[in-house]
Amino acid sequence: MESLFGDQYDNKDEKSNLFADIILPVPIPKMFTYKIPRNLAESIGIGFRVIVQFGKKKILTGIIGRVHQKPPTSYDAKPILDLLDNHATVNPIQIRFWAWMAEYYCCHIGEVMNAALPSGLKLSSESKIQLNPTFDPDTSPYPLDEREELLLQALANKEEMSYEDCEAVLGIKSIHGILKSLVIKEAIIVFEQVKEKYSPKVESRIRFSHEHVKDKKLLEALFNEIAGKPKQEEILLKYLQEVPVYKKPELNQKGLEKKVISDAGLSASSLKTLIKNGVLEEFKIIISRFEEEEGSNEEIVLSSEQEEAFQQIKKEFEDKNTVLLHGITGSGKTELYITLIKEVLAGGSQVLLLLPEIALTTHMVGRLRQVFGSSMGVYHSKYSDNERVEVWNGVLSGKLSFVVGVRSSIFLPFDSLGMVIIDEEHEPSYKQFDPAPRFQARDAGIMLSWLHQSKTLLGSATPSFETFHNAKTGKYGYVSLEKRFGEAQLPDYYLADILVDKKKNLLKLDFTRLMREKIQEALNNQEQVLIFQNRRGYAPYISCEDCGWIPECEHCDVSLTYHQFGEEMRCHYCGFKEKVPHACSACGSNKLSAVGLGTERIEESLSLLFPEARVARMDLDTTRSKYGYQRLLEDFGSGNVDILVGTQMITKGLDFDRVTVVGIMDADRILYFPDFRAGERAFQQITQVAGRAGRRDKKGSVIIQTRKPEQAIFGQIISGDYKSFYLQEMGERQRFFYPPFVKIIKITTRHKDYKTAEKSARYLHNLMGDIQVKKILLGPEKGLIGKIKNQYIFESIVKLDRTGNAQAHFKQELLHILEEMQAHKDFRGVRFVVDVDPY
């Protein structure tokens, strides 16, 4: 370990004067200093987890950030209560990474820690405790003491217990020691209320009751007994066929998955009878989600274009830390990644592959699993905390040297990364908006990679402008892959003019004639169709035909979305719901109509237009459950669905053989979004979703419905002319001072009272104006949505020079200002949020 104790530390008597600065998972500006008790002094170091008291009552898990001999001047240091492990949970690179993140994104290191550590690793007085379902006291190698047993008994009757509940059961204070011990013994699981609880995957199995397999005679007698009951006999024969206990009685122990019997079409009630009569017994086992699986170790054969790109990437890495792989949709970036990952792993380094949230359940992960087996960890936001802890510990112990994960996987305890790969680097979901740290995982990933002296590969068919700019200016290496893999070709594009069809009466339920024809053609050929509309619900709003009244959210400044499913009006910002009104609240008219197009409505229209087609919908509402997304994909993949309607969820990474038609319902909606990136995003979204079509031998078609087909961007998308689109947009950005030419920081002020919110925002704005750096300061203005969850919102935008230390200086001053304002009574209850690179 590094010399943590400083050079002067060589005198044994001074041990009792050791202090530790501790990172606590709370939004406070600094680390807190605690005293290291004499008995812990030998075994403590940077990155260790400790338990401390914070404030009057709170017990928190903290991470040791620094060890020194300077007592704090303004308060008496409390002692560290306990040490949680005998090793560091967080390594020095991670601590540097956290510190960088806090500084760059203007937040507190404790907030970074909070985001970084799974709550299973943060035992605190706010934790909840559940029994670990996999724990069995009879087989556990660890003996339990009396108090531990008492606590487990209490837990057995409950879903969960709070820290205080545990104290009450045992009648003692400070029970962290007991909880710590139970965690080590894997008897309990610590979690936070907000997260879902850990429920293991359980499988029902059956086997012969033990006496029957004792000897063959018994089994024979059994068969004689049920000879007159063919259905029961069938089941037993099936069992014997799958589990030959005649030859090997010991096989009975593991039994057979119960599902095998029902899958074979055998009688469920006869099976029940057999179990009831004690012939068979049913039992349950817990299947690990991280089942041992051998990787295939197959040789990856790259196409000649891929091979060339691979060699170029390696060449670029010789003098660049970051390389952009600009490969068109379907060019086979996955196989290239696999080849690279294998090479880095063979060299003994770790690899992190970042994927956008939703792409994590697609074929790509399946493909990677095939190659890397269980040596690959998957870090998914839909995993429970316990599963996250498993991946964390897998990386820590060295068992997992390759992880594929969502943005939060950048926090895993890697100690020797050799490569970070960021797929679909342009994806907006890499940005975390709330809560702090409001980081961009692509940018943070590049930083992490740099801290490890490792390399970063960014992959995309439609790179973000920042990245492309960095590649063009030589900061990043650049490699392109311009051919689809195999015989596949890029699809043909068609622009369908909504207004023309409307005039000619050809528009039916929002579908142009061309779109309908193309869909019909695909259906006739038994091919599949994707329809894209980035708006969920039935209609964005309803409106009174007589007076124009539109129902709005009681708590937010937005209209309510009409959801046909459940017949309700919902707010997409705060979750508020109400019944669909039958009459106008303003004039009483009952002529209310749904306006605009949501995925639900499109789904309905498709069923009316193509009654023979099987239509499914993929959006936030149909994929809320843990495996919802995966199930829909499986259905689509196995051909049970002909047309899939979806939001941007369907644009990511899907690779299906039979998709030949992709329809974009309303391209104008994507283009006219009030954001400087609208054009860039539209180019990306349309190209990406179009890229799902015709990925095998048959050429695909993409139909774009629009009211203005003459717009230049369509021509550029169709010809795949990313570069001229880029140049044109960049001209605008330079003229109007937008990234990547400036850095943007957005400062939001919120309060439940309009006046207070406005006044505070102005006050802050003026103080920011005084900060001595070259900048453009805009606002404060009412937010694009002026009120969310009863809080009024004002925003200021700062545009900063990218050169020199303008940014660092501004951020530092800003934090000062905010600290002072927040301590002042005039601004009590006002919330200020700083968002660096807020896009």
Binding ligand ATP (rule: CB under 6 A), the pick from 132, 232, 252, 334 is 334
Question: Which CB atom, from 266 or from 574, has the smaller least distance to Zn ion?
Answer: 574
Binding ligand ATP (rule: CB under 6 A), the pick from 25, 62, 255, 332 is 332
The CA radius of gyration of the chain, in Å to the nearest whole number, is: 30
Q: Are 821 and 760 in contact (CB under 8 A)?
A: yes
Does 5 sit near Zn ion (CB under 5 A)? no
Token readout for 518 is 């193309």
| Integer CA distances (angstroms), 241 to 237, 245, 743, in order | 6, 9, 68
The least CB distance from residue 789 to Zn ion, in Å, is: 6
- Residues 369-398: x where in contact with ligand ATP by CB under 6 A, - otherwise, as a string: ------------------------------
Among the candidate windows 44-52, 299-307, 347-355, 392-400, which touches ligand ATP by CB under 6 A? 299-307
Quick count: other Cβ atoms within 10 Å of Cβ 490? 22
Residue list 749-778, contact with Zn ion (CB under 5 A) = none
Residue 587 is assigned to a ligand binding site: yes
Does 793 sit near Zn ion (CB under 5 A)? no
Residue 287 pairs in a beta bridge with 201
Binding ligand ATP (rule: CB under 6 A), the pick from 47, 598, 646, 691 is 691
Residue 663 pairs in a beta bridge with 531, 703
Question: Which CB atom, from 537 or from 646, has the smaller least distance to ligand ATP?
Answer: 646
> Taking CB within 5 to 8 Å according to partner kind, which of Zn ion, ligand ATP, none is near residue 120?
none
Question: Which CB atom, from 576 or from 827, has the smaller least distance to Zn ion?
Answer: 576
The least CB distance from residue 494 to ligand ATP, in Å, is: 20
The least CB distance from residue 681 to ligand ATP, in Å, is: 16
Question: Which CB atom, from 712 or from 785, has the smaller least distance to Zn ion?
Answer: 785
Residue 166 is assigned to a ligand binding site: no
> Taking CB within 5 to 8 Å according to partner kind, which of ligand ATP, Zn ion, none is near residue 339?
none
Does 306 sit near ligand ATP (CB under 6 A)? yes
Residue 574 is assigned to a ligand binding site: yes
Does 335 sit near ligand ATP (CB under 6 A)? yes
Residues binding ligand ATP: number (CB under 6 A) = 18
Binding Zn ion (rule: CB under 5 A), the pick from 58, 513, 555, 669 is 555
Q: How far apart are CA 651 and CA 653, in angstroms?
A: 7
Residue list 692-721, contact with Zn ion (CB under 5 A) = none
Does 655 sit near ligand ATP (CB under 6 A)? yes
Residue 326 pairs in a beta bridge with 460, 480
> Taking CB within 5 to 8 Å according to partner kind, which of ligand ATP, Zn ion, none is near residue 571?
Zn ion
Binding ligand ATP (rule: CB under 6 A), the pick from 25, 47, 65, 330 is 330
Q: How far apart are CA 604 and CA 592, in angstroms?
A: 19
Does 693 sit near ligand ATP (CB under 6 A)? no
Among the candidate windows 219-227, 238-246, 564-572, 790-798, which touches Zn ion by CB under 5 A? 564-572
Q: Are 612 and 605 in contact (CB under 8 A)?
A: no
- DSSP code string of 3-45: -TT-TTTT-GGGGGG-EEEEE-SS--SS-EEEEPPGGGGGG--
> Taking CB within 5 to 8 Å according to partner kind, which of Zn ion, ligand ATP, none is near residue 303?
ligand ATP
Residue list 437-476, contact with Zn ion (CB under 5 A) = none
Q: How far apart are CA 600 and CA 630, in angstroms?
A: 20
Q: Is 458 helix (H, G, I), strand (E, B) or coil?
A: strand
Among the candidate windows 31-39, 240-248, 298-306, 446-454, which touches ligand ATP by CB under 6 A? 298-306
Question: Which CB atom, from 194 or from 301, has the smaller least distance to ligand ATP?
Answer: 301
Residue 584 is assigned to a ligand binding site: yes
How is residue 490 annotated by DSSP?
P
Q: Are 208 and 280 in contact (CB under 8 A)?
A: yes
Binding Zn ion (rule: CB under 5 A), the pick from 451, 574, 777, 815 is 574
Q: How far apart are CA 673 and CA 408, in angstroms?
A: 28
> Taking CB within 5 to 8 Å according to partner kind, which of Zn ion, ligand ATP, none is near residue 176?
none
φ, ψ for residue 75, nearest 5 deg: -150, 165
Sign of CA dihedral 384, 390, 393, 398: negative
Q: How far apart are CA 669 and CA 140, in angstroms?
A: 59
Question: Which CB atom, from 383 or from 485, has the smaller least distance to ligand ATP?
Answer: 485
Q: How far is CA 245 from the centre of its chain?
A: 46
Contacts of 321 (CB under 8 A, 6+ apart): 446, 449, 450, 455, 456
Q: Are 494 and 701 in contact (CB under 8 A)?
A: yes
The least CB distance from residue 516 to Zn ion, in Å, is: 36
Q: Are 42 and 3 in contact (CB under 8 A)?
A: no
> Taking CB within 5 to 8 Å according to partner kind, which of ligand ATP, Zn ion, none is near residue 556?
Zn ion
For ligand ATP, which residue has the nearest CB? 332
> Taking CB within 5 to 8 Å according to partner kind, which of Zn ion, ligand ATP, none is near residue 385?
none
Strand stretches in 640-725, DSSP E: 643-646, 659-664, 701-706
> Taking CB within 5 to 8 Å according to partner kind, which of ligand ATP, Zn ion, none is near residue 330?
ligand ATP
Residue list 470-499, contact with ligand ATP (CB under 6 A) = 485
Q: Provide the phi-psi class of 685: left if phi over 0, else alpha when psi is between -120 and 50, else beta.
A: alpha
Binding Zn ion (rule: CB under 5 A), the pick from 182, 353, 571, 693 is 571
Quick count: other Cβ atoms within 10 Å of Cβ 599? 27
The least CB distance from residue 61 to Zn ion, in Å, is: 35
> Taking CB within 5 to 8 Å according to partner kind, which of Zn ion, ligand ATP, none is near residue 796?
none
The least CB distance from residue 490 to ligand ATP, in Å, is: 11
Which amino acid makes up residue 765? Answer: H
Does 333 sit near ligand ATP (CB under 6 A)? yes
> Taking CB within 5 to 8 Å according to partner kind, which of ligand ATP, Zn ion, none is near residue 335?
ligand ATP
Q: How far apart are CA 333 and CA 484, in angstroms?
A: 10
Does 461 sit near ligand ATP (CB under 6 A)? yes
Residue 553 is assigned to a ligand binding site: yes
The least CB distance from residue 461 to ligand ATP, in Å, is: 5
Question: Which CB atom, from 197 or from 555, has the smaller least distance to Zn ion?
Answer: 555
Q: Are 60 and 26 in contact (CB under 8 A)?
A: yes
Does 556 sit near Zn ion (CB under 5 A)? yes
Token readout for 644 is 């899939």
φ, ψ for residue 126, nearest 5 deg: -100, 0
Among the candidate windows 297-305, 438-446, 521-529, 808-816, which touches ligand ATP by CB under 6 A? 297-305
Residue 106 is assigned to a ligand binding site: no
Question: Which CB atom, from 326 or from 765, has the smaller least distance to ligand ATP?
Answer: 326
Q: Are 602 and 645 in contact (CB under 8 A)?
A: yes
How is residue 580 annotated by DSSP?
P
Q: How far apart are CA 500 and CA 748, in angstroms?
A: 43
Q: How far apart are CA 632 and CA 626, in angstroms?
A: 12
Residues binding Zn ion: number (CB under 5 A) = 7
Does 327 sit near ligand ATP (CB under 6 A)? yes
131-134 contacts, C-beta under 8 A, 24 or more apart: 131/155, 131/156, 131/187, 131/188, 131/189, 132/186, 132/187, 132/188, 132/189, 132/198, 132/386, 133/198, 133/199, 133/200, 133/286, 134/186, 134/200, 134/286
| Integer CA distances (angstroms), 183 to 190, 302, 368, 783, in order | 8, 47, 32, 46
Does 356 sit near ligand ATP (CB under 6 A)? no
Q: How far apart are CA 41 and CA 593, in angstroms?
A: 72
Q: Which residues bind ligand ATP (CB under 6 A)?
A: 301-303, 306, 327, 329-335, 461, 485, 653, 655, 691, 695
Q: Which residues bind Zn ion (CB under 5 A)?
A: 553, 555-556, 571, 573-574, 576
In the annotated binding site, the residues are 544, 547, 553, 556, 571, 574, 584, 587
In the annotated binding site for Zn(2+), the residues are 544, 547, 553, 556, 571, 574, 584, 587
